[in-house]
Amino acid sequence: MTTAGKVTLTVVGLLGGVVAIGTLPRLALGGHGAPTPSVAVVPPDYVKRLLEAREPIFVVDVRTPTEFRAGHLPSAVSLPLADLDRRFPEIPKTQRVLLYCHCPMEEIATAYVFLFNNGYRNHAVLGEGFQGWLGRGYPVAR
């Protein structure tokens, strides 16, 4: 949902029920009047439960390779934000996708909108990002 010049953030049970939590400044979409998608945000606790249950989720870490090597979510794939425009075909369209970073919400929302504009409808963003994950003491792979 959008309001004049805003992108709506939503909390979801990875592509399940939706609850609006706030808005961001509207992101450029490359076309005047193009619809802006809601950015689906998934709480870290829910993601942890899904990973523990071995649910099929394609986890995409959009941080730099150096940050990824220092530690990342279990099963995450490194696909730096700077490479997203050329590497996005590596992300499946038929599986649930979770994006995360250690960046402002505006940056990860840009990645979310980019995927949306390229036909993805199965993706969400990790609420609170990598710092939220670490802050809860959840497992990190190296």
pLDDT per position as a tens digit, 82-135 = 999 999 999 999 999 999 999 999 999 999 999 999 999 999 999 999 999 999
Question: Across-strand partners of 22?
Answer: 9
- According to the 3-state scheme, what is the secondary structure of 15-44? CCCEEEEEEEECCCCCCCCCCCCCEEEECH
Residue in the structure block whose two tokens are 């840009």? 110
What are the residue ranges spanned by the domains of the chain?
41-135
For the domain 41-135, what is the CATH code? 3.40.250.10
Confidence of residue 37 (pLDDT cuts 50, 70, 90): confident
Kindly give the pairing relationship between strand 57-61 and strand 96-100: parallel
- Identify the DSSP state of 54: T
